[in-house]
């Protein structure tokens, strides 16, 4: 493994090792660039993962304190856990469920297609599906997405059988085991899925793509990656000309060190990327770095989510097998006749008993609730994931008084559901319940959103520097050697799970960075 000097200002520093940062590190190393990859968390492995929900949560999740505000239920149900993201090598690719979907063409043009929706701060992406297609293809090949590249779909589990039968009985047509970055047969030195049922806890079979055991070791093989775990970046610094020069981070011993850089790429997930820019304020940039637009932290999106669980007379054992290998796509398209704009997917989901007790009805207690839990064996579950509206007031901001272990302001995450989000969720609850009722559900449960796993938009791409933080390459409008490399770039959220798009953007960004470096533009 490479080890670069702290004063080596020819390196690319990437902050965060998940879908964006981990992929970018591998791509840049393969192009011959020197990369320092800084990850706040420690390195786990399939051997150290455990099939245990609470253990894994404590092992993998980002647990630094955060606060919440706004009308979303999370602020009431989980006031200090707005998001369920990771602090571990591989980032949220360790706990993601593996759903790997492309955005639809119209979703890149939300402002144009959805027109002017009151209260929504919609914008078209400065990018089209046509431009991204070649990179989606590369991303699908890299991740080994089922139903692409002649890779068969995963075999459906019991939870999918219930979804499939119910969905087809109510007339849905696009229902299958999904496009999943989980091997249905051995590929890329990784095994086929064992149907463990613990996708969220780190995949012990290695069948699910994670940068932890794909991109990062591949980058290390080039000899150009300097990987530093347990290294949490506290600030990005710049010189008098406004160019980014270095990062300051707390290393594994808690010592604060400065790493110089030729360019810096932030991929810390939407809450921490925005927080890092805001915390990096200086006399030259009093409102934070790359924030001349004032848009850093704003337009925070988390997808319109919720779950429907059905209770049946006979066992389902939903916890058996791949958690999210099941999808209904009929509601994903453009169709404004439903009383809202944008679309949503239904995807199978299951929770172990410990998390079912925590999440099925947050705040509930008493016999009505335990009676539900006693039917755990007979439950099937589906998750709603739909496009939410960007709003200027939905924002990651710095807490006015509370500080973290490094003395820096913690983030507050404010989110109000837009009326469009509420209408979509209510409609989706009804349709999801209808799916289960069609196969004999004796009861259905509308489950409110879990802490956000899809965190997007806090440094969005925009054609005009006034409207967003970065350009179509993820390069910040204000500082040309500072890049956004994660889901913070998303101009709008689409109806799809974001990882495939994050990976496609990272591959594309690597091409741009390498070209700009060779032209000595950065």
Partner 1 sequence: MKKLKRREFLQKGALVVAGAAAFASGVTVVAGAESWTARLKALNAHQGQTLLAMSRQLFPHPQLDDSYYIPVVQDLDAEAVNRRDTARLLEEGVARLDSLRGAKFVALTPAEQISVLKQVENSDFFVKVRNSELVSLYNNHRVWKKLGYPGASYPIGGYLHHGFNDLHWLPDPPESASPKPA
Provide the binding-site residues for partner 1, judged by CB under 8 A.
Answer: 50-55, 152-158, 160-162, 164-165, 175-177, 184-185, 192-198, 204-205, 314-317, 319-321, 352-354, 356-358, 365-367, 369-370, 373-374, 376-377, 439
Q: CB 376 → partner 1: shortest distance, Å?
A: 6
Question: How far apart are the C-alpha atoms of 261 and 482, rounded to whole Å?
Answer: 10
Q: Are strands 482-484 and 263-266 parallel, antiparallel or unpaired?
A: parallel
Q: CB 196 → partner 1: shortest distance, Å?
A: 4
User: Measured from the CB atom, is 133 or 371 closer to partner 1?
Assistant: 371
User: Measured from the CB atom, is 157 or 452 closer to partner 1?
Assistant: 157
Q: Do the beta carbons of residue 248 and residue 234 sit within 8 Å?
A: yes
**Closest to 331 measured CA to CA, from 139, 173, 126:** 173
Q: CB 372 → partner 1: shortest distance, Å?
A: 11
Q: CB 213 → partner 1: shortest distance, Å?
A: 16
Question: How far apart are the C-alpha atoms of 130 and 289, rounded to whole Å?
Answer: 31
Contacts of 462 (CB under 8 A, 6+ apart): 123, 126, 293, 295, 468, 469, 470, 471, 477, 491
How buried is residue 424: exposed, middle or buried, by Cβ count under 10 Å (0-12/13-18/19+)? buried
Q: CB 351 → partner 1: shortest distance, Å?
A: 10
Q: CB 192 → partner 1: shortest distance, Å?
A: 5
Q: CB 90 → partner 1: shortest distance, Å?
A: 19
Provide the residue count of the chain: 522
Q: CB 61 → partner 1: shortest distance, Å?
A: 14
Residue with tokens 């492995």: 45
User: Measured from the CB atom, is 267 or 356 closer to partner 1?
Assistant: 356
User: Measured from the CB atom, is 158 or 229 closer to partner 1?
Assistant: 158
Q: CB 375 → partner 1: shortest distance, Å?
A: 9
- Other residues' Cβ atoms within 10 Å of the Cβ of residue 281: 15
Q: CB 283 → partner 1: shortest distance, Å?
A: 41
User: Measured from the CB atom, is 171 or 286 closer to partner 1?
Assistant: 171
User: Measured from the CB atom, is 450 or 490 closer to partner 1?
Assistant: 450
User: Measured from the CB atom, is 156 or 494 closer to partner 1?
Assistant: 156
User: Measured from the CB atom, is 133 or 185 closer to partner 1?
Assistant: 185
Instruction: Write phi, then psi, for 430 (nearest 5 degrees).
Output: -65, -45
DSSP state of 45: -
DSSP state of 63: -
User: Measured from the CB atom, is 48 or 464 closer to partner 1?
Assistant: 48
Contacts of 89 (CB under 8 A, 6+ apart): 17, 39, 41, 42, 43, 44, 212, 216, 227, 229
Cα three-residue angle 302-477-27, rounded to 5 degrees: 70
Question: How far apart are the C-alpha atoms of 35 and 19, rounded to whole Å?
Answer: 16
Question: How far apart are the C-alpha atoms of 344 and 333, rounded to whole Å?
Answer: 8
- Measured between alpha carbons, how far is residue 60 from residues 94, 200, 204, 324, 456 in Å? 8, 10, 14, 19, 20
Count CA atoms within 13 Å of residue 205 on its CB side. Answer: 20
């Amino acid at each position: 493994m490479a080890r670069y000097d702290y004063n080596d200002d020819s390196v690319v520093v990437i902050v965060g090792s998940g879908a964006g940062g981990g992929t970018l590190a591998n791509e840049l190393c393969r192009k011959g660039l020197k990369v320092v990859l800084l990850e706040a968390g420690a390195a786990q492995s399939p051997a150290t993962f455990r099939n245990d929900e609470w253990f894994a949560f404590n092992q993998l999740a980002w647990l630094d304190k955060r606060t919440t505000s706004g009308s979303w239920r999370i602020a009431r149900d989980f006031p200090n856990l707005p998001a369920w993201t990771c602090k571990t090598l591989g980032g949220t690719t360790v706990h993601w469920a593996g759903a790997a979907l492309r955005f639809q063409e119209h979703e890149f043009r939300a402002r144009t297609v959805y027109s002017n929706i009151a209260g929504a701060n919609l914008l078209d992406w400065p990018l089209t599906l046509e431009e991204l297609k070649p990179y989606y293809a590369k991303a699908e090949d890299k991740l080994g997405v089922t139903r692409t590249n002649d890779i068969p779909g995963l075999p459906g589990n019991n939870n999918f059988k219930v979804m499939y039968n119910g969905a087809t009985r109510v007339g849905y047509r696009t229902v299958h085991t999904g496009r999943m970055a989980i091997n249905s047969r051995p590929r890329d030195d990784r095994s086929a899925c064992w149907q463990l049922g613990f996708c969220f806890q780190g995949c012990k079979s290695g069948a699910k793509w994670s940068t932890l055991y794909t991109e990062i070791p591949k980058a290390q093989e080039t000899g150009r990656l300097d990987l530093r775990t347990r290294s949490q970046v506290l600030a990005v610094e710049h010189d008098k000309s406004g160019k980014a020069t270095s990062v300051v981070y707390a290393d594994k011993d808690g010592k604060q060190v400065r790493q110089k850089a030729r360019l810096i790429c932030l991929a810390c997930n939407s809450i921490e990327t925005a927080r890092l820019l805001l915390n990096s304020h200086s006399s030259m940039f009093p409102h934070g770095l790359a924030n001349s637009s004032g848009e850093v932290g704003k337009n925070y999106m988390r997808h319109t989510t919720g779950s429907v669980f059905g209770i049946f007379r006979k066992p389902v054992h939903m916890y058996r097998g791949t958690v999210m290998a099941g999808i209904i796509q009929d509601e994903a398209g453009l169709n404004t006749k439903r009383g809202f704009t944008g679309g949503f997917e239904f995807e199978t989901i299951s929770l172990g008993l410990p998390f079912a007790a925590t999440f099925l009805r947050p705040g509930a207690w008493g016999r009505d609730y335990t009676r539900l839990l006693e039917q755990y064996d007979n439950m099937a579950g589906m998750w709603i994931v739909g496009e939410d509206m960007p709003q200027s007031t939905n924002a990651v901001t710095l807490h006015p008084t509370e500080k973290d272990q490094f003395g820096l302001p913690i983030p507050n995450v404010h989110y109000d559901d837009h009326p469009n989000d509420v209408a979509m969720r209510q409609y989706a609850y009804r349709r999801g319940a209808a799916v289960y009722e069609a196969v004999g559900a004796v009861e259905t449960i509308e489950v409110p959103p879990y802490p956000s796993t899809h965190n997007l938009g806090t440094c969005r791409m925009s054609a005009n520097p006034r409207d967003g933080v970065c350009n179509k390459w993820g390069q910040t409008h204000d500082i040309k050697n500072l890049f956004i490399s994660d889901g913070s770039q998303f101009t709008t959220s689409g109806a799809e799970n974001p990882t495939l798009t994050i990976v496609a953007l990272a591959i594309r960004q690597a091409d741009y960075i390498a070209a700009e470096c060779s032209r000595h533009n950065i």
